[in-house]
Amino acid sequence: MAGILFIISAPSGSGKSTLVTQLRTLVEGLDFSISYTTRAPRGSEEHAREYYFTTRAEFERMIAAGEFLEWAEVFGNYYGTAVSALLHAKDLGKDLLLDIDVQGALQVMKKMPEAVSIFILPPSPQILEMRLRNRSAAENMTSEAIIEKRLNAAKHELKQVFDYRYALVNDVLDKAVAEMRAIVLYERGTGDDLRELAQACRTDTHTTALASVLTAFGEN
C-alpha cells in the first residue's frame, strides 16, 4: 500500500476513541477504517460512520468469501476489517488507522509486519472502571455484568502489550494525544523534533510508566 498502516488497540474504556478522534483533528492524511460488526449500534452511533452494522449471516458470508483482512469475536460479537479498506486508503494515498482488538491486531502484524502498532493503556484498573461506568451511565446502559467482563478482558489484553511497537498511558488526555501524534509523525519521517517523545513510547525501552500500569493490574 502507499501509506503506513497504524494499528491501535486498547482495552475497552481506555479512551481509544476519544484519543483517535482528537488525533484526526491534528494530523492530516489519516484514513480511518470503518469496521464491520454484528453488535447493535450504541448511543448516537450511525451505520457507515462508526461501524457497518451487519448480521451474523452476512458477516459469516464475508468470512467465507475472504473479504476480511482480519476478524475476531469480541464480547460475543463479530468485528472485522475489510480488505477493501486497505485498497481504499491506497487509492487515496493516505495512511490507514485500524482500531482493532488484540486478536485482530496479532493477525495483521503477522500479515503485514511493517504495520506500526500502538497499544493504549488505562492508568489503573480503578480509573478504567470509573471510565467504563461514566460512559455507560452517559449512554443509559449500565450493566454490572458488562463492566465486570470488560475489566477482566482488560487484564487479559494487557498481557499482549509487548507485541506492540509502541505503548502509551492515557492518563492526561492532552499528553496522550501529543504522544500519539509524535508517533504518527515520527513514523512518517516528518517529525524529527518529536523523535524523543515517540521513542519514549517504544515498548522495547520498557518505560516506568508502562511498568507501573502493569503492576497496578497485577501483571508484574
Residues at the site binding ligand ADP, with contacts judged by CB under 6 A = 10, 12-18, 131, 134-135, 170, 173
CB neighbour burial string for 40-50, b if at least 16 within 10 angstroms, e if fewer: eeeeeeeeeeb
- Which of ligand 5GP, ligand ADP, none does residue 81 bind to, with CB < 5 to 8 Å depending on kind? ligand 5GP
Q: Kindly tell me which residue out of 99, 128, 154, 161 binds ligand 5GP, with binding defined by CB under 6 A.
A: 99
**Angle at CA of residue 60, ends 152 and 148, nearest 5°:** 15
Residue 77: partners with Cβ closer than 8 Å, 6 or more residues away: 37, 38, 39
d(CA 15, CA 120): 8
Give min distance, CB of 160 to ligand ADP, in A.
15
Cell of 150: 470488560
- Name residue 102's amino acid: V
Total binding residues for ligand 5GP by CB under 6 A? Answer: 14
Q: Are strands 77-82 and 35-37 parallel, antiparallel or unpaired?
A: antiparallel
Q: Kindly tell me which residue out of 3, 15, 80, 123 binds ligand 5GP, with binding defined by CB under 6 A.
A: 80
Whose Cβ is closer to ligand 5GP: residue 139's or residue 196's?
A: 139
Binding track, positions 18-57, relative to ligand 5GP; x by CB under 6 A: -----------------x---x------------------
Give min distance, CB of 134 to ligand ADP, in A.
5
Count the residues in the chain: 220
d(CA 120, CA 179): 11
Question: Residue for cell digits 496522550?
Answer: 176
Give min distance, CB of 28 to ligand 5GP, in A.
23
- Which of ligand 5GP, ligand ADP, none does residue 70 bind to, with CB < 5 to 8 Å depending on kind? ligand 5GP
122 is an interface residue for ligand 5GP by CB under 6 A: no
**What residue number has its CB nearest to ligand 5GP?**
104
Whose Cβ is closer to ligand ADP: residue 28's or residue 174's?
A: 174
Whose Cβ is closer to ligand ADP: residue 134's or residue 205's?
A: 134
d(CA 4, CA 30): 9
- Which of ligand ADP, ligand 5GP, none does residue 202 bind to, with CB < 5 to 8 Å depending on kind? none
Q: Kindly tell me which residue out of 1, 88, 90, 103 binds ligand 5GP, with binding defined by CB under 6 A.
A: 103
The DSSP line for 66-131 is T-EEEEEEETTEEEEEEHHHHHHHHHHT-EEEEE--HHHHHHHHHH-TTSEEEEEE-S-HHHHHHH
